[in-house]
């Protein structure tokens, strides 16, 4: 999976939000830089992952995870609803845990199985959450790397002047 990485230089635009008084891209805070979003993705303690049931209903759950290698990485039980949903349809939405400076990514999640990537994920999670999991813990579960196709963020301190949407090539 890592061999196919694309550079993370997304195109930033102002999202279409009729009725919210959103300013043009050059007014207010202006378009947020992607670095602003990645800081919040990195710093988020939890992430909210939305998948879809087979009948199309949304399925929303919180997870521990980490932003690295241009993706949100997380784990869950190998047989849980989230895993089954992602194995059927890899599309998902993931949000950070801060409602005042939210970052929401639309992504495609790919199950991670390569030993080196599993070790990197384990080390990253142990560092972030001050845990001592062994790689076998995650091998027995499912680990996913969700790479954004688009993202949205805003800073509530400048609600009309900060909304930004990014599209990835």
Whether residue 2 has pLDDT greater than 70: no
* pLDDT(3) > 50: no
Q: Kindly report the average pLDDT of the chain as a whole number.
A: 94
**What's residue 8's pLDDT?**
60
Per-residue pLDDT at 37 exceeds 80: yes
pLDDT at 7 over 90: no
pLDDT of 138 higher than 90: no
Q: Are 144 and 111 a contacting pair, CB within 8 Å?
A: yes
Which tokens hold the place of 106?
């639309």
- Exposure string over 65-76, b if 16+ CB within 10 A, otherwise e: bbbbbbbbbbbb
What is the structure's pLDDT at 23? Answer: 96
Give pLDDT tens digits for 97-128.
999 999 999 999 999 999 999 999 999 999 99
Say what the pLDDT of residue 139 is: 79
- Compute the distance between CA of residue 103 and CA of residue 108 in angstroms, rounded to an integer: 16
Cα(110)–Cα(69) distance, integer angstroms: 13
- pLDDT tens digits, residue range 12-27? 999 999 999 999 999 9
The answer to whether residue 75 scores a pLDDT higher than 70 is: yes
pLDDT confidence band for 1 (50 / 70 / 90):
very low
Tokens of 21: 């008084």
Residue 150 main-chain phi, psi, to 5 deg = -155, 165
Q: What is the 3-state secondary structure (H, E, C) of the chain?
A: CHHHCCCCCCEEECCCCCCCCCCCCCCCCCCCCHHHHHHHHHHCCEEEEEEECCCCCEEEEEEEEEEECCEEEEEECCCCHHHHHHHHCCEEEEEECCCCCCEEEEEEEEEECCHHHHHHHHHHHHHHHCCCCCHHHHHCCEEEEEEEEEEEECCHHHHHHCCEEEECC
Look at residue 169 in the predicted model and tell me its pLDDT.
80
pLDDT the model gives residue 9: 81
Report whether pLDDT(39) > 60. yes
Tokens 């039980």: give the residue.
77
What domains are defined for the chain?
29-167 (2.30.110.10)
């Amino acid at each position: 999976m890592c061999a196919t990485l694309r550079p993370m230089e997304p195109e930033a635009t102002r999202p279409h939000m009729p009725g919210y008084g959103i300013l043009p891209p050059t007014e207010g805070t202006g378009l947020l830089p992607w670095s602003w979003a990645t800081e919040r993705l990195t710093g988020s303690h939890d992430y909210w992952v939305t998948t879809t049931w087979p009948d199309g209903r949304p399925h929303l759950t919180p997870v521990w995870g980490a932003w690295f290698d241009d993706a949100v990485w997380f784990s869950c039980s190998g047989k849980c609803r989230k895993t089954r949903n992602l194995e059927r349809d890899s599309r998902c939405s993931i949000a950070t845990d801060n409602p005042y400076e939210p970052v929401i990514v639309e992504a495609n999640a790919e199950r991670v199985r390569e030993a080196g990537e599993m070790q990197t994920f384990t080390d990253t999670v142990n560092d972030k959450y001050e845990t001592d999991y062994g790689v076998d813990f995650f091998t027995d579960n499912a680990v996913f790397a969700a790479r954004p196709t688009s993202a949205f963020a805003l800073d509530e301190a400048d609600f009309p002047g900060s909304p930004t949407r990014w599209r990835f090539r």
